[in-house]
Structure 1
Amino acid sequence: MPSPIAHAVSGYVLARLWPRTSSSPLSLSSVSIQSYYGVFVAIAADFDFLPQLLTGQDFHRGLTHTLIFALGFSLALAGLTYQKFKYSYQQMLLFTFGLYGSHLLLDWLTAGGQGMQLLWPLTEAYFKSPLSLFPAVHHSRGLLDLGHLVFISWELCYGLLILAGLKVWQHSRSSRFSK
């Protein structure tokens, strides 16, 4: 599964690509709340490590990595955001679900493991992409294993590539509108 590096960069890029209006409370500055929101939501599925720290039980890639949880999380967070900022509930729901879904998509595109129970509780089936964008991580080797350098290097390249793509897209949009 990708580390928070890939999830955070993906959330940031998706947040910067999401259309904003001047009335949007989530676009207060060039480094906007919308970007922070994007990063937070894109990594939120991995907060399942917190109960694991307390109980010692493995929760990772469980409930928080299902579509039903993604929907529930998105409904709740969009509701809280709507209450606070009075921004369009429907827009916040779509934005939040897209960001959370990006986490599930990146995890689905990772080599190794048995996959994810995306449709739990409807089925116990595991889903795994036949194509892998990210190499497998071997958690059992420990945090400082040199084998993780390949994984981290791959994620840094992925992050730099999509950030460069964002920059090119922003530049092409600004030059198109300045004509």
Structure 2
Amino acid sequence: MPLYWRTGQRRNALEKERSIPTFITHAIVGAAAVKTLYPADRSRLLIAAAMITAMLPDADVLGFPLGVEYGDFFGHRGFFHSIFFALVVAVLCVQVVFRGPGRFSREWRNCALFFFAVGATHGLLDALTDGGLGIALLSPFDRTRYFFPWTPIPVSPIGLADFLSAWGLHVLAWEAALVWLPAFAVVAACMLIRRSASAR
């Protein structure tokens, strides 16, 4: 089974051209990552930064009213959904959040790696959706739009009216089952493991 489908091919049109997983799901993934890897850190800045990092790639939809086409380099699911962009955002984000002993220290690198992983989850989750164009994961080096062979997540409509429609609620239900619950389960499991270890 091929790993990807090239630009211009859609898995499922769903009568909509512009579609995404909901921003809520990306935010939940970012928050869950903080609670899993930085459970003792109650910094609102860290949680907010992780949630924004996870959601940020979808800011590319602002290009639609400016005439940026879906399949363009800076179009939706294009460069801003790439692994390279996640790396750039991670380096910038760690400059704001990190309060450790020094730049490029072990703690700094771990923090940068954390934000990189959080940012990269956006494109990877989008590649699991069943509609729209694929994700330019390797941009700017390769503009191919990728999907995973398995695409269980229904795409969410862009726009508040459509998001609150039956389609939007259907998508939320699927995302809750496929992403939210597993994320909460991982956080809960890590909390139980830590409590068990501290009780010994």
User: What TM bracket, shorter-length normalisation?
Assistant: 0.7 to 0.9
> 1:2, 1:100 → 2: CA distance?
14
- 2:12 counterpart residue number: none
For residues 165 and 17 of structure 1, do their structure 2 counterparts lie closer, same or farther at Cα, with a shift above 3 Å needed? Answer: closer
Structure 1 alignment gaps of length 5 or more: 22-26
Task: Specify the code of the residue in structure 2 equivalent to 1:38.
Answer: A
Matched position secondary structure for 2:156: coil
> 1:154, 1:111 → 2: CA distance?
12
**Displacement after TM superposition at 1:110 (Å):** 1.2
1:5 and 1:156 in contact (8 A); partners too: no
The reply on whether 1:78 has 2:94 as its aligned counterpart is yes
What is the RMSD computed on CA atoms of the aligned residues? 2.5
2:61 maps to which of 49, 61, 64: 49
> 2:23, 2:125 → 1: CA distance?
11
For residues 145 and 99 of structure 1, do their structure 2 counterparts lie closer, same or farther at Cα, with a shift above 3 Å needed? Answer: same
The reply on whether 1:164 has 2:176 as its aligned counterpart is no
> 1:139, 1:50 → 2: CA distance?
11
Structure 2 alignment gaps of length 5 or more: 1-19, 70-74, 102-106
- Cα offsets for 1:112-149 (capped at 9, x unmatched): 22311111221221211001231133559x61432222
> 1:124, 1:63 → 2: CA distance?
8
> 1:139, 1:12 → 2: CA distance?
22
- 1:175 counterpart residue number: 196
Percent pairwise identity? 25
Q: Which has the higher helix share?
A: 1
In the superposition, the TM-score normalised over structure 2's length comes to 0.72
The reply on whether 1:13 has 2:13 as its aligned counterpart is no
2:110 maps to which of 85, 91, 95: 91
- 1:24 counterpart residue number: none
In the superposition, the TM-score normalised over structure 1's length comes to 0.79
- 1:114 counterpart residue number: 133
Task: Specify the code of the residue in structure 1 equivalent to 2:82.
Answer: T
2:138 and 2:144 in contact (8 A); partners too: yes
